[in-house]
């Protein structure tokens, strides 16, 4: 579930429904999208991308004008060709569109064409200025072919009435519509199932299929100003080996004090490091100033949550069902004898944080 100032977006894989709830009046719009499992919303809360399990396509909702609501009220035959559902059908307020190449214009005035093809897209993160969505193509670790990052302009997918502008890119070159270019893809050899954007830098994590058949965790650093990988140098390889994890599973990423990036994985005891008798753990500490892995925590269970207490040089983590405190200065453990948890701890959050960046990116 994701929310912005006005709407809550929820995806239910079990019921195959993408639900939009207006927090102002409580009205809800359940849009049918079989297999939907994840929603990514831009920081401005003006567009959302929905992803379907084991699919190579992406979808986005759009709010309808009064005239459109009336025009689309005759059922699927009256909907835009790119729409997979409009609800409620007798007077739709929203439609769910498939992201398609703008090759043609249908009778409703909406562009449509070949679906934009990704490679097991997992989620999207957004540029600092909000103009670009970076779709994470999970690739081999999610049953696909090649991991990469696909760049999509946000403006054509803004759901607010009358604020959509521009066109989506074409599916492939040459383009039928000459106003757009094909999708830009950045190959990510180390895997791309999660990412965090910091200004003009993107940190991408994933699991890479190794020659022995096991998956190994990797972190790749991208320069978003040039859409290229930051060059490797000396003891700073790119991508760099980090904690292994379950392929395609949810991971956690957070930046903390002392130029540190923390990455948490689950099932690191089933990865490349474990099966080759190498030191392994589910939590990685990475120094963003010199692009080096500082610490790979010893295995104490799945790392399922991280929160950064900025200014105090420490993070809290949930690992193996317990809460731990770790120094961001050197990765050493801080006494947690006063942390009492009843039951099993799965996640942690810093409630007094100034911004949400102190809490986990999923």
Q: Domain boundaries in the chain?
A: 1-187
Structure confidence at residue 147 (pLDDT): 98
User: Confidence class of residue 362 from pLDDT cuts 50, 70 and 90?
Assistant: low
Residues 156 and 164: beta-carbon distance below 8 Å: yes
pLDDT tens by residue, 57-100: 999 999 999 999 999 999 999 999 999 999 999 999 999 999 99
CB atoms < 10 A from the CB of 267, how many?
A: 15
Question: What is the β-pairing status of strands 83-87 and 94-98?
Answer: antiparallel
Q: What is the pLDDT of residue 119?
A: 98
What is the average pLDDT across 151-174?
A: 93
Q: Tokens for 149, please give them.
A: 């990052």
pLDDT beyond 90 at 352: no
Name the percent of the chain lying above pLDDT 70: 98
Tell me if 52 sits within 8 A of 37, measured CB to CB. Answer: yes
The C-alpha atoms of residue 194 and residue 202 are separated, in whole angstroms, by: 10
Number of C-beta neighbours around residue 87 at 10 A: 20
Give the pLDDT mean for 11-28. Answer: 81
Q: What is the pLDDT of residue 5?
A: 57
Q: In the structure encoding, which two tokens stand for residue 202, read together?
A: 């993107």
pLDDT for 4 equals 53
pLDDT band at 153 (very low <50, low <70, confident <90, very high): very high
pLDDT score at 355:
80
- Does 138 have pLDDT greater than 80? yes
Which of these, 219, 231, 164, lies nearest to 193 by C-alpha position? 219
In this structure, how many other beta carbons lie within 10 angstroms of the beta carbon of residue 356?
11
pLDDT band, very low/low/confident/very high, at 7 (cuts 50, 70, 90) = confident
pTM confidence score: 0.93
Tell me: the pLDDT tens digits for 277-333? 999 999 999 999 999 999 888 999 999 999 999 999 999 999 999 999 999 999 999
Residue 337 contacts by C-beta under 8 Å, 6 or more apart in sequence?
A: none
Q: Give the whole-angstrom CA distance, residue 97 versus residue 88.
A: 15
Q: Alpha-carbon distance 351 to 316, whole Å? A: 12
The answer to which of 129-138, 196-205, 289-298 has the lowest mean pLDDT is 289-298
- Mean pLDDT across the chain: 92
Q: Give the helix ranges, DSSP H, for the chain.
A: 66-71, 272-275
Phi, psi of 358 (to 5 degrees): -75, -10
Percent pLDDT > 90 in the chain is 78
Q: What is the pLDDT of residue 11?
A: 84
Give the Cα-Cα-Cα angle 277, 279, 281 (nearest 5 degrees). 120
Whether the CB-CB separation of 96 and 59 falls below 8 Å is answered with yes
> What is the distance between the alpha carbons of residues 19 and 39, in angstroms, rounded to a whole number?
10
């Amino acid at each position: 579930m994701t929310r912005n100032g006005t709407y809550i977006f929820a995806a239910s894989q079990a019921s195959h429904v993408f639900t939009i709830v207006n927090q102002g009046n409580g009205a809800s719009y359940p849009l049918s999208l079989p297999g939907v499992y994840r929603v990514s919303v831009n920081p401005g809360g003006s567009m959302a991308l929905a992803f379907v399990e084991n699919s190579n396509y992406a979808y986005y909702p759009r709010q309808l004008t009064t005239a459109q609501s009336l025009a689309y009220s005759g059922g699927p035959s009256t909907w835009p060709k790119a729409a997979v559902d409009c609800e409620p059908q007798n007077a739709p307020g929203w439609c769910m569109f498939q992201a398609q190449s703008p090759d043609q214009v249908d009778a409703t005035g909406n562009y449509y064409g070949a679906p934009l093809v990704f490679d097991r897209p997992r989620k999207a993160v957004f540029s600092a200025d909000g103009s670009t969505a970076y779709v994470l193509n999970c690739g081999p670790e999610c049953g696909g072919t090649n991991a990469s990052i696909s760049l999509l302009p946000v403006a054509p997918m803004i759901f607010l009435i009358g604020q959509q502008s521009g066109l989506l890119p074409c599916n492939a070159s040459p383009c039928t519509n000459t106003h757009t270019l094909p999708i830009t893809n950045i190959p990510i050899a180390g895997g791309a199932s999660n990412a965090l954007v910091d200004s003009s830098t993107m940190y991408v994590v994933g699991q890479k299929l190794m020659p022995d058949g096991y998956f190994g965790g990797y972190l790749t650093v991208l320069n978003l100003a040039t859409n290229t990988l930051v060059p490797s140098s000396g003891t700073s390889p790119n991508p760099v080996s980090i904690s292994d994890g379950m392929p395609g599973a949810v991971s956690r990423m957070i930046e903390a004090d002392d130029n540190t990036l923390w990455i948490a994985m689950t099932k690191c005891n089933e990865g490349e490091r474990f099966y080759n008798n190498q030191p392994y753990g589910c939590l990685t500490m990475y120094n963003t100033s010199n692009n080096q892995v500082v610490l790979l925590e010893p295995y104490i269970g799945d790392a399922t949550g991280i929160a950064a207490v900025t200014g105090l040089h420490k993070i809290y983590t949930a690992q193996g069902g317990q809460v731990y405190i770790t120094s961001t200065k050197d990765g050493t453990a801080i006494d947690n004898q006063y942390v009492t948890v009843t039951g099993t701890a799965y996640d942690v959050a810093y409630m007094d944080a100034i911004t949400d960046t102190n809490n986990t990116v999923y």
